């Protein structure tokens, strides 16, 4: 899967070097057991430089209130169209969800669903059923998003998870779709209850 280069650091003294190693501009994310929605807890900081990284590190570690914590230092990917891709169980089989993602997921609540497996035609139809169709076309002078790269990414995700145990949930949010490519920026996996 196309994911930005990243490193996990547990010491403040390591964070500036990690930012440089991933390209000089980074996203810093709190890594705290049980914390699924990092943005809601203030656990994500965007476009961080080597100089500001130590201060941001301290703020992110403080979210754990003395508990176990580290920081993911991830190469900064420019802003694109943020998309949700999810796979959930249902009595009829696994369900693929795609829709407007990022922090707007719950606010806009604009998704399309299909039982798996899906084809590229299915994924394209799902895009067309949501506001993603307009966003991917380019809004107010923005470049069109790489729809083909997104469709290919979704198919790779569904193929990769086809052999997984039943009952899991996968929430990839956001996938950022640029004018040339698509990147998985965050995900959450919940194992099946057995």
pLDDT of residue 1: 86
pLDDT > 80? residue 95: yes
pLDDT at 104: 84
Query: What six digits make up the tokens of 183?
Result: 């990147």
The conformational region for residue 167 under phi > 0 = left, psi -120 to 50 = alpha, else beta, is left
Distance CA(27)–CA(43), nearest Å, equals 10
98, 154 in Cβ contact below 8 A? Answer: yes
Q: What are the residue ranges of CATH 3.30.470.20 in the chain?
A: 81-190
pLDDT of residue 35: 83
Lowest mean pLDDT among 36-45, 58-67, 69-78, 118-127: 36-45
Which residues of the chain form CATH 3.30.1490.20?
6-75
Q: Provide the percentage of residues in the chain whose pLDDT is more than 70.
A: 99
Any idea which fold 81-190 has? D-amino Acid Aminotransferase; Chain A, domain 1 (3.30.470)
Across 29-33, 151-155, 165-169, the highest mean pLDDT is recorded for 151-155
Burial of 74 per CB tally in 10 Å (0-12, 13-18, 19+):
buried
What residue has token string 């929430």?
A: 171
CATH 1.10.287.810 fits 6-75, yes or no: no
How much is the pLDDT for 117? Answer: 98
Q: What is the average per-residue pLDDT within 91-108?
A: 93
Global pTM? 0.86
Nearest to 96 by CA among 190, 1, 169, 146: 169
Q: How many residues does the chain have?
A: 194
Average pLDDT over residues 74-98: 97
Distance, CA of 158 to CA of 180 (rounded, Å): 21
């Amino acid at each position: 899967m196309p994911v930005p280069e990243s490193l996990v650091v547990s010491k403040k003294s390591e964070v500036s070097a990690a930012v440089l190693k991933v390209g000089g501009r980074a996203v810093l994310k709190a890594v705290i057991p049980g914390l699924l929605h990092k943005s809601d807890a203030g656990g994500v900081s965007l476009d961080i430089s080597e100089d500001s990284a130590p201060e941001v590190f301290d703020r992110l570690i403080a979210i754990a209130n003395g508990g176990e914590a580290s920081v993911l230092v991830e190469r900064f990917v420019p802003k694109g169209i943020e998309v949700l891709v999810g796979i959930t169980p249902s009595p009829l089989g696994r369900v693929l969800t795609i829709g407007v993602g990022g922090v707007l997921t719950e606010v806009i609540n604009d998704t399309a669903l299909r039982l798996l497996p899906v084809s590229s035609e299915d994924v394209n139809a799902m895009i067309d059923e949501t506001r993603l169709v307009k966003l991917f076309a380019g809004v107010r002078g923005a470049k069109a998003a790489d729809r083909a790269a997104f469709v290919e990414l979704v198919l790779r995700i569904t193929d990769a998870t086809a052999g997984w145990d039943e009952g899991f949930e996968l929430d990839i949010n956001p996938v950022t779709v640029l004018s040339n490519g698509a990147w998985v920026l965050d995900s959450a996996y919940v194992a099946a209850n057995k």
